[in-house]
Amino acid sequence: MVKRWIQEAVHRPGRLHVNLGIPKEEKIPMKLLDAIVQAKAGDTITNLTSVGKKKIKVTRKIEQRAILARNLKRIKK
C-alpha cells in the first residue's frame, strides 16, 4: 500500500490551471469546477467567475482533471 497515493494520482500538477488560464497562486473556484463537470465534452462554457479565460472548451481531459480537483478539494485534512 502506498502511503502518499494522492501525490502519485496527480501526474501533471498545475495543468488544469494552465488550461483554464488561472495563475497557480489563485484557487480555482468550485463554481467553475462544477460547471465543467456538468458540461459534456465538446461544449463551450462561459466562465462566470472573475478569474481565468472567459470561454472554455470542455474536453474529456479537462473534465477528468476538474473531477479530480473537485474531489481533492472536498477531502478533509
Q: Which three cell numbers stand for residue 4?
A: 502518499
pLDDT of residue 13: 87
pLDDT in tens, 20-51: 999 999 999 999 999 999 999 999 999 888 88
Other Cβ atoms closer than 10 A to 61 = 13
Look up the pTM and report it.
0.83
Beta pairing partners, 45: 56
